[in-house]
Amino acid sequence: MNGIQPERNVVKKDHRKVRLRFALAYPSPYSVGMSNLAVRLLYELINSREDCLCERFFFSGFRTPPVSLESKLPLSAFDVVGFSLQHEIDYLRMLDMLDSSSIELFASRRKRPMVIAGGPAASSNPAPLEDFIDLFVIGESEPVLDYLLESLSEGQNPRQLAGSRPGLYASGLEAERGRVDSLEDAPHAVRQVHPVSGQGFSSTFLLEVSRGCNRGCRFCLECFLYRPRRERSFRKVREILEQGLHLSGLDRVTCISSAFFDHREIGDILAWMRDRRLRYSLPSMRISKTGRDVAELLAAGGQRTITIAPESPSSRLREVINKPLDESELMGLLEASRRAGIRSLKVYFMVGIPGEDMSDLEHLRPMLAGAISAGFDPRSIHVSVNPMIPKGNTPFQWARIVSESEYKSRVSRMRQICSDLGIRRFESMDYRWGAVQASLSISGREASSLLFLALKDISEGGQGDLGTWRRVLKGIGRDFETIQPTYSEDDALPWELIKGGPTKSLLLREYRRAFGGQV
C-alpha cells in the first residue's frame, strides 16, 4: 500500500537479513514518481539482489518527514539514501526530505546515512548540490549499479569511489559519464511495481524502446546528455512486453522514449501492440511523413489526444533551435489524426528562443488555424507555453532566459491569438519558476547557499513556493531576472570536471550556428 491504494509487485524484505538498506527517494508526489521508469527499474534491480533491500520514499509536503511505502520507516533507518532528480525544482524538496528527517544536510558533517543523487538534472550539472551529496551517479546508472551496491555494502568511502568507474562523481574530482553501450543488452524493468489503479501513467506498463535522440535540438538536454540514440530491437521489445505484462498484470503500455518515432521498427511495434489489443499511449509525435502513417496505429491504441512540440510557431526560430518542421507534413499529420478519430491536440511552445521578437509569434495564428481547418475543434486544442530554460551540456548553456517583461508580453500575445481562434485551454509556466530553474540548471556551487536559505525560510513557516524564493532573493538583494549566471565562451563551466559528454567545442559550434540559422 502507498497509504492510499494497493500496489502490485511490492517487495518487502527483513532489514536484519541484508547487508545494504537502500532508500530510493523521489522528491515529487507518488503519482509523479511512479510514472518514472528509473524508479521501477532501480527498485527491481536492487531488490533482485539477496544482500540488498530497496524501499521507496516520495515527497508529500514540506516539513513532512517521509516514511517508506514498504515498512513505514524513516530515511534515517537506511544505510544509503539515493535521490532521483529530474528537474531543478526537485532540489529544495530533496533537501527538505533530508532536513525534516533530522539528517545532517552537509555532506562534510554527515556520518550516516550516505546520500547519493542521480537523474538528468544532477547529471547535467551537479554543482549546486555538491555541498549536500556524498556521491553522484552521473549519466546512466545500469553499468555501475552492482559495483556501487557492493562497494557501499562493504562500507567504502564515497570519495574513494568517485572516479573509480564511469558514472561516479564527487565534488572536485574528475569523472566520466556513465553510459549503456547496448540498450539491447541492458536490463528493462519487467516486474514493475505500480498502483493497481492510479492517475496518469502510474498504473500502466512503462516501456523504453530507445534512449537518447540524435536530432540535435540545441536546447535539449535529452539529446546532448544521452547521446548517441540507442534502441532495442522489435524482438527484444516484444520479449519485454510479453514477460512484463504477464508479471505486472497490466494491459496498458506507456512508451516513454523521446525519440520513439525514430525507431527503425516503429510500425512493427505499434502493429504488434494493436493486434494484442493493448491500450497504449505514446510520447509527443514527430512531425514527418511516418507520423502520418502512424496516426491510425496511435488511435488503435486508444489514444484520443495527439501531442506535438513545434517549440516555436516561427520557421526562422525553429532553425535557430535546430528543430525544423515541414508545415505540409504537419498538416498531413493533423488531418490523418482527425481521420483516425483523434479528437484533441496538445501543442508545446517555448518563449524566449535567442533572437525571438514579437513578429515571430504572429505565425501562431496560421499554425493553429491550420489545426482547426484540419478538423480539430478549438475547444479540444490545448496550448502550453514555457520559457526557454538554458541547460548545462547543451549549446544553449551560453544563452539567457528571456526577461520577465518580454516573457509576459509574448505570452499575453499568444494567449490573445488563441482566444481569437476560440482556443481557451492555454497554460503558461510562471516566469519566476522558469528563472529559478534557469539559475539552478547552470549555476556553480555557490547556488547551494540559495537552496540553504530557501530551506531556512521553509523551516520558519515558508511554503517552499514562489513566496519563499521571493524572500530569499530579496534577502540577498537579487531578483528573479538576475539570478541566472551568464558565462562567456572562454569561462570554465561548473560541470567541466565531468568528461564523456558533448565536448565544449561541439556545443560552441552549435551555439554559433544557431545565430547563423544553420541546421
Q: How far is the CB of 270 from ligand SF4 (least distance, A)?
A: 19
In DSSP terms, which residues pair with 53 in a beta bridge? 21
Does 215 participate in binding ligand SF4 (rule CB under 6 A)?
yes
Q: How far is the CB of 140 from ligand SF4 (least distance, A)?
A: 16
Q: How far is the CB of 244 from ligand SF4 (least distance, A)?
A: 24
Question: Which residue, 323 or 338, has its beta carbon nearer to ligand SF4?
Answer: 323
- Among residues 222, 231, 319, 457, which is the contact residue for ligand SF4, using CB under 6 A? 222
Chain residues 259-298 in contact with ligand SF4, contact rule CB under 6 A: 259
Let me know: does 36 contact 86? Beta carbons within 8 Å. Answer: yes
Chain residues 154-213 in contact with ligand SF4, contact rule CB under 6 A: 213
Whole-angstrom distance, CA of residue 420 vs CA of residue 412 = 12
Reported in sequence order, the residue ranges of 327-380 that DSSP labels E, i.e. its strands, are 344-351
- Number of helices (H), then strands (E), belonging to the chain: the values are 19, 19
Question: Which residue, 70 or 319, has its beta carbon nearer to ligand SF4?
Answer: 319
Q: What sign has the CA pseudo-torsion 503, 506, 507, 512?
A: positive
- DSSP category for residue 133: -
Phi-psi region of 247 (alpha: psi -120 to 50; beta: other; left: phi over 0): alpha
Does 220 participate in binding ligand SF4 (rule CB under 6 A)?
yes
- DSSP category for residue 178: B
Find all residues with CB under 8 Å of 60, minimum gap 6, and list them.
29, 30, 66
Question: Which residue, 222 or 335, has its beta carbon nearer to ligand SF4?
Answer: 222
Q: How far is the CB of 171 from ligand SF4 (least distance, A)?
A: 29
Q: How far is the CB of 89 from ligand SF4 (least distance, A)?
A: 20
Judged by CB under 6 A, which stretch of 47-55, 165-173, 215-223, 374-382 contacts ligand SF4? 215-223
Question: Which residue, 224 or 431, has its beta carbon nearer to ligand SF4?
Answer: 224
Does 388 participate in binding ligand SF4 (rule CB under 6 A)?
no
Q: How far is the CB of 424 from ligand SF4 (least distance, A)?
A: 27
Question: Which residue, 85 or 217, has its beta carbon nearer to ligand SF4?
Answer: 217
Does 507 participate in binding ligand SF4 (rule CB under 6 A)?
no
Find all residues with CB under 8 Å of 472, minimum gap 6, and list them.
450, 453, 454, 457
Does 258 participate in binding ligand SF4 (rule CB under 6 A)?
yes
Q: How far is the CB of 499 from ligand SF4 (least distance, A)?
A: 22
Does 428 participate in binding ligand SF4 (rule CB under 6 A)?
no
Question: Which residue, 136 or 349, has its beta carbon nearer to ligand SF4?
Answer: 349
In DSSP terms, which residues pair with 24 in a beta bridge? 56, 82
Q: What sign has the CA pseudo-torsion 35, 36, 41, 43?
A: negative
Phi-psi region of 249 (alpha: psi -120 to 50; beta: other; left: phi over 0): left
Chain residues 317-356 in contact with ligand SF4, contact rule CB under 6 A: 323
Q: How far is the CB of 33 from ligand SF4 (least distance, A)?
A: 22
Size of the site for ligand SF4 (CB under 6 A): 10
Q: How far is the CB of 217 from ligand SF4 (least distance, A)?
A: 3
Chain residues 100-159 in contact with ligand SF4, contact rule CB under 6 A: none
Let me know: does 338 contact 375? Beta carbons within 8 Å. Answer: yes
Find all residues with CB under 8 Å of 517, minimum gap 6, and list them.
316, 319, 320
Question: Which residue, 65 or 283, has its beta carbon nearer to ligand SF4?
Answer: 283
Whole-angstrom distance, CA of residue 267 vs CA of residue 234 = 10
Judged by CB under 6 A, which stretch of 91-99, 149-157, 218-226, 371-379 contacts ligand SF4? 218-226
Let me know: does 95 contact 29? Beta carbons within 8 Å. Answer: no
Q: How far is the CB of 310 from ligand SF4 (least distance, A)?
A: 10
Does 223 participate in binding ligand SF4 (rule CB under 6 A)?
yes
Whole-angstrom distance, CA of residue 48 vs CA of residue 18 = 12
Closest alpha carbon to 79 in 56, 59, 53: 53
- DSSP category for residue 376: -
Q: Cis peptide before 113, with omega less than 30 degrees from 0?
A: yes
Q: How far is the CB of 274 from ligand SF4 (least distance, A)?
A: 24
Question: Which residue, 56 or 323, has its beta carbon nearer to ligand SF4?
Answer: 323
Q: Which residues of the shown chain bind ligand SF4 in the complex (CB under 6 A)?
A: 213, 215-217, 220, 222-223, 258-259, 323
